[in-house]
Structure 1
Amino acid sequence: MALLSLILHCIHAVPQVPCYFIFGDSLSDDGNNNYLPTLAKVNYPPYGIDYPQGPTGRFSNGKNIQDVIAENLGFPSPIPPFANATGNAILKGVNYASGGAGIRFETGETVGARISLDMQLTNHAITISKIAAILLSNESASDLLSKCIYTIDIGSNDYILNYFLPQFYPTSHQYTPQQYAKVLIQQYSRQIQNLYHNGAKKFALFAIGYIGCTPYAVATYGTKNGSACVDDQNQAVQLFNEALLSLVNELNNNISDAKFTYINPYGFTATGFVTNSSCCEVDNGGQLCVRNSVPCSDRSKYTYWDGVHPTQAINILAGDFAYATTSTSNAYPFNLQSLALQ
């Protein structure tokens, strides 16, 4: 896997697509929350301890998964966050992701301000106007946007910071897990089609990972029957993932001039990693690192950096996997390398 990563990171001199647009939550956020009044903000040590620029707002010790994917696609530098993306840099893409954000607008409100997916779509509309101004025509902007990849990695918080917080949100009282997955996918479908109507043609829609296996979930909710994970949480998000795969098939069947693919970036097996504890000391909430704390010394051996987010080591494996996997159960009908060629 390490050799594959080295090869993938070195062979791409020119980006395979002209631009890469990123929508999502803290797994993808690279600084959009730094300027918001929110608890979901990590622009302080030990975050970024292994990133060249130090703490940037990435919820990791180093790169996040989108940094790795952008490298694999041939981009020479990370995709800038919307919060400070300016000038011609936006022609290469923009990262709109926001820690705490969800498909539903109210998701994450318990942690403070966040940029929901609907708000991210509004920000993208602003970017489109700027691109049209730079290229001096709407037609030129549309032509550019049709060749770009749009990645959306969202939904985890609709469970972690919504459905599984019944003391703050009514959703678990209103919906069974099956009903909630259906409601989420219905709203998500409308949001995806909003992007399509604004010129997007190549979509990578990411599955939700095993949120019930995070140190936060295990410590907060406990496990049953000898399981290492909180099984009911994993079962709930699996319902979402199954519905998302069905949505990808539906969109591909109904929209002939666009390509949609389902990506499960964490569908690989990683051996030799510490999986039952976080690398950094977490705060009382159990999710984020204590400010200025000293993390574990060998961060390459840990799955989880804090209570819920992967380490750079896992992000590299996941980003490479999403780009190049040939497993149709984890990338269907395309991996990201193939999507770029569509």
Structure 2
Amino acid sequence: MTFGWCFSVCILFVLVGLRLEEANAQFLREVGTKKLAYWSIVVDQSGHGNFTTIQSAIDSVPSQNMYWVSIKVKAGIYREKVKIPYDKPYIILKGEGKRRTFVEWDDHHNTSQSPTFVAMADNLVVKSISFRNSYNNPTNRKLIKPAVAAMVSGDKSYFFRVGFFGLQDTLWDDTGRHYYKLCTIQGAIDFIFGAGQSLFERCSISVIGGALDAGLPGFITAQGRTNSEDGNGFVFNYCHVFGNGTTYLGRPWRSHARVLFYKTNFSNVVQPAGIITVDQSGNGDFSKIQSAIDSVPSNNKQWIYIKVNEGTYREKLKIPEDKPYIILKGMGRDKTFVEWGDHDSSAQSPTFLTMANDIVVKTISFRNTFNDPKNGNSMKPAVAAMISGDRSSFYGVGFYGLQDTLWDDKGRHYFNCCAIEGAMDFIFGAGQSLYESCSISVREACPGKAIIGFITAQGRTNPADENGFVFKNCKVYGVGKTYLGRPWRAYARVLFYKTQMSSIIQPLGWQPWNSSADVKQVTRLICSSKLEIYAEMEWHSRSTIILVLVRHCLGENRIVPALYVFGDSTVDAGNNNNLNTLAKANLFSYGIDFNSCSTGRFSNGKTFADLIAIRLGLPMPPPYLGLSKFERHQIVTGINYTSGSCGILNSTRSGDCLSLDKQIEYFTSTVANDLPRSIHNKTELRHYLFNSIFLLSIGSNDYMLNYFKYPNGTNNNLNLEKYADYLLEQLASRIKRIYDLGARKFVVNRIGQIGCTPTCVIRTPYSQKCNEDINQKVKHYSDKLTGKLQELQTQLSHSLFINLDNYNFS
């Protein structure tokens, strides 16, 4: 993709954005002696508007119009063909929802004459409406022919929540710069085609390949770029491809076709051209990962995607130098494992070895099992992964071992949201590497023996070398004691920046490889109210480690032992990333102010639960489903069990989520199975739970996704006041279950002003203000919450309840 192309697309958004600002203002025009709003055209089939057909409304717009005209189309199915000609720009065409306002026709004689909707004018905005060409409807039992639902030929056109429905040639994205957001596009054959310069963002691409003859695959795109200098092309950003039958992502309509799918979810309807599937059960192309790697051509120059299904693969893997451009992706680092137990020499022991350049590895784990305690072996170097190629990146990958876990050998490497576990020199080598938002889990080198471990052993050999390790926004935790590192070579270089560290870190931080007799040390530690540490230590005046940390000094400044969090998307820290749901916050721009890493929080930055943890001197509670079994055994500072789109009631949900009952079930497991591994004395465990804080933020979805969403549902037999009483009784019963597990100190959040959320604001007609009607309806719950908590505090001995208003939280 050229810079010029990207720049042009960005300019399109700026132009459309500026025009939309104008459209949102209320301009008036003089008509005779009156001043009328120019946006006041209404189309209603029932005769209660200015026109009964959409085309009549468009025809009424003056030729060469220079002002924005809004045409509002009431709900209904409009059987007509609609055309916006060249000389009628600045039109806003808005329906009442893409599932409520339809325009349909069934022309098919030739492609250019068949469109139900044609937009030839520049500066066009279309919202909340659907266009359908019904000719190829399977119930018609006709031979499939090109039948266009919409043809877009004008420049600077914007489509928001628009539906395009057809079978073949559904959307003709002909020419010009276009932006499609939250649209639905349905078809089977070449159903997004043309030579537009277009961005499709967060769109749903629905494949209906089942309408084709058996065994016949479809094609989503047919892009028409005719030469290498053309700026046009299709970009699909954060979209979702699903449906039935099978389909290819596209085929070139013209010789220089250009299509990019970026961070887009694909279901199994997409034909795996360029995709190799590994499945132990025999339902893939290979049952062994190494066999899939071996199938990649030598000196490959195109990206090859190797998808590894769930399971534990007992094999050693090697990507040799002559097999670059491989994407190796598992189904989750807690679901797809590669393990082996070699240890004869460091160079021969890696479970996973990559020597090629341009390698991407995602959501898979590598483990060297030799040093597992159950094996009874004395500790030896046993490498889980060795990275020797250049330009290698790892996302959500797990590296598990004890000594020499990750050999970051040489080359430029990027590790994002990875988990690295070990005890002795377990991140070592001479790579030039950035570790961002990674979890560094420290194990005891020899349980029962007072052996202090080392996290890093960096191998820079001379001051001119550019290599070194940078740890940014990471967290270090675990058991036993450890140093941050020691120099494997004379000019070792390591930087820890804004990294959370538990009290397992030795205060000295850094140790020489052998004798400390010739060590020159400069150390300055600050553990103030800002909870910052800066330390610089020089060894032999050559090797350095620099710490610039936002650190919680857990041994000294921790106000309470732990913070446990239950609730919904207001405090979800990423559990939904591990569930089969569309309610995920793992996309840009979530997390834009959180290390630019979308962690699963439904926020641009930290949640208020994170801020409370920081105020208490605790690390931010990690999401339960994002933790490995080992990590769950080690964490004693609190866990986040929350899940977006769930509520107090089990019937409240949108897709898969963790109900409050399920969250409490996981906490029960934490108390019974995990905490006793770190807190061995039952009295100490009771004291720990007694002094910990339990935060609950939940209830808004019980209105938005239950009471308001299903007006004829079971709960709607109750009026608003009785429904609030019912919710509070259900909440109280679940709080009592948490109390019975040992909790005593509760912070319970009120339901905020959900009428001020974007979802509610955009549903308020002609307003950008809060929906006060919704705010008043949920007020019954919030007003009664205080009394319910006082009642619980009276009933439950030694309990303490705080009613939190996070809407005014600071």
User: Structure 2 counterpart of 1:257, which letter?
Assistant: H
Alignment of 1:42-57 (within 5 A): 42-52=585-595, 54-57=597-600
Cα distance, 1:182 vs structure 2: 0.5
Contact 1:162 1:171 in 2 (8 A): no
Is residue 238 from structure 1 mapped to residue 779 from structure 2 by the alignment? yes
Q: Deviations over 1:62-118 (max 9, x none)?
A: 11111111111111x31111113324542100000101110000112xx31000111
Contact 1:70 1:79 in 2 (8 A): yes
Say if 1:99 and 1:227 are closer, same or farther in 2 by CA, change over 3 A: closer
Q: What is residue 31 of structure 1 aligned with on the other side?
A: 574
Contact 1:201 1:259 in 2 (8 A): yes
**Correspondence for 1:82 among 614, 624, 636:** 624
Say if 1:89 and 1:26 are closer, same or farther in 2 by CA, change over 3 A: farther
DSSP 3-state at the match of 2:581? coil
Is residue 184 from structure 1 mapped to residue 727 from structure 2 by the alignment? yes
User: Structure 2 counterpart of 1:105, which letter?
Assistant: N
Is residue 218 from structure 1 mapped to residue 751 from structure 2 by the alignment? no
**Correspondence for 1:99 among 644, 651, 656:** 644
Is residue 122 from structure 1 mapped to residue 668 from structure 2 by the alignment? no
Alignment of 1:271-286 (within 5 A): none
Cα distance, 1:236 vs structure 2: 2.0
Q: What is residue 197 of structure 1 aligned with on the other side?
A: 740
Q: What is residue 512 of structure 2 aligned with on the other side?
A: none
More helix by share: 1
DSSP 3-state at the match of 1:266? helix
Contact 1:163 1:172 in 2 (8 A): yes
Say if 1:132 and 1:120 are closer, same or farther in 2 by CA, change over 3 A: same
Say if 1:102 and 1:87 are closer, same or farther in 2 by CA, change over 3 A: closer
Q: What is residue 794 of structure 2 aligned with on the other side?
A: 253
DSSP 3-state at the match of 1:33? helix
In 2, Cα distance between the equivalents of 1:9 and 1:106?
44
Moved over 6 A (4+): none
DSSP 3-state at the match of 1:55? coil
Is residue 264 from structure 1 mapped to residue 800 from structure 2 by the alignment? no
**Matched-pair identity in %:** 37
Is residue 162 from structure 1 mapped to residue 703 from structure 2 by the alignment? no
DSSP 3-state at the match of 1:260? strand
Range that drifts further, 77-86 or 227-236: 227-236
User: Structure 1 counterpart of 2:640, which letter?
Assistant: N
DSSP 3-state at the match of 1:262? strand
In 1, Cα distance between the equivalents of 2:609 and 2:529?
14
Q: Deviations over 1:251-301 (max 9, x none)?
A: 12222311111111213xxxxxxxxxxxxxxxxxxxxxxxxxxxxxxxxxx
In 1, Cα distance between the equivalents of 2:803 and 2:590?
30
Say if 1:222 and 1:214 are closer, same or farther in 2 by CA, change over 3 A: farther
DSSP 3-state at the match of 1:113? coil
Greater C-alpha radius of gyration: 2
Contact 1:8 1:72 in 2 (8 A): no
Cα distance, 1:139 vs structure 2: 3.2
In 1, Cα distance between the equivalents of 2:590 and 2:738?
32
User: Structure 1 counterpart of 2:753, which letter?
Assistant: Y
Say if 1:8 and 1:106 are closer, same or farther in 2 by CA, change over 3 A: farther
Say if 1:60 and 1:94 are closer, same or farther in 2 by CA, change over 3 A: same
In 1, Cα distance between the equivalents of 2:770 and 2:589?
26
Alignment of 1:56-71 (within 5 A): 56-71=599-614
In 1, Cα distance between the equivalents of 2:632 and 2:758?
41
Q: What is residue 282 of structure 1 aligned with on the other side?
A: none
User: Structure 2 counterpart of 1:161, which letter?
Assistant: L
User: Structure 1 counterpart of 2:563, which letter?
Assistant: Y
In 2, Cα distance between the equivalents of 1:51 and 1:146?
32
In 1, Cα distance between the equivalents of 2:650 and 2:530?
36
DSSP 3-state at the match of 1:234? helix
In 2, Cα distance between the equivalents of 1:185 and 1:15?
32
Is residue 15 from structure 1 mapped to residue 540 from structure 2 by the alignment? no
In 1, Cα distance between the equivalents of 2:529 and 2:584?
31
Range that drifts further, 97-106 or 47-56: 47-56
Q: What is residue 138 of structure 1 aligned with on the other side?
A: 682
DSSP 3-state at the match of 1:166? coil
In 1, Cα distance between the equivalents of 2:720 and 2:727?
11
User: Structure 1 counterpart of 2:722, which letter?
Assistant: Q
In 2, Cα distance between the equivalents of 1:29 and 1:216?
18
In 1, Cα distance between the equivalents of 2:668 and 2:648?
18
In the comparison of the two structures, how many residue pairs are matched? 257
DSSP 3-state at the match of 1:22? strand
In 1, Cα distance between the equivalents of 2:598 and 2:768?
35
User: Structure 2 counterpart of 1:258, which letter?
Assistant: S
Cα distance, 1:231 vs structure 2: 2.2
Aligned CA-pair RMSD: 2.2
More strand by share: 2
Contact 2:575 2:625 in 1 (8 A): yes
In 2, Cα distance between the equivalents of 1:36 and 1:170?
26
Cα distance, 1:161 vs structure 2: 1.0
User: Structure 2 counterpart of 1:200, which letter?
Assistant: A
Alignment of 1:311-330 (within 5 A): 318=809, 321=810
Contact 1:107 1:161 in 2 (8 A): yes
In 1, Cα distance between the equivalents of 2:720 and 2:771?
15
Say if 1:8 and 1:260 are closer, same or farther in 2 by CA, change over 3 A: farther
In 1, Cα distance between the equivalents of 2:691 and 2:717?
41
**Correspondence for 1:147 among 682, 691, 707:** 691
Range that drifts further, 253-262 or 178-187: 253-262
DSSP 3-state at the match of 1:236? helix
In 1, Cα distance between the equivalents of 2:768 and 2:593?
33
Say if 1:171 and 1:95 are closer, same or farther in 2 by CA, change over 3 A: same
Say if 1:20 and 1:89 are closer, same or farther in 2 by CA, change over 3 A: farther
In 1, Cα distance between the equivalents of 2:530 and 2:585?
27
Contact 2:560 2:692 in 1 (8 A): yes
In 2, Cα distance between the equivalents of 1:135 and 1:49?
37
Contact 2:632 2:670 in 1 (8 A): no
Contact 1:181 1:240 in 2 (8 A): yes
DSSP 3-state at the match of 2:763? helix
Contact 1:47 1:60 in 2 (8 A): yes
Cα distance, 1:23 vs structure 2: 0.5
Say if 1:215 and 1:9 are closer, same or farther in 2 by CA, change over 3 A: farther
Say if 1:177 and 1:87 are closer, same or farther in 2 by CA, change over 3 A: closer
In 2, Cα distance between the equivalents of 1:217 and 1:79?
30
Say if 1:177 and 1:90 are closer, same or farther in 2 by CA, change over 3 A: same
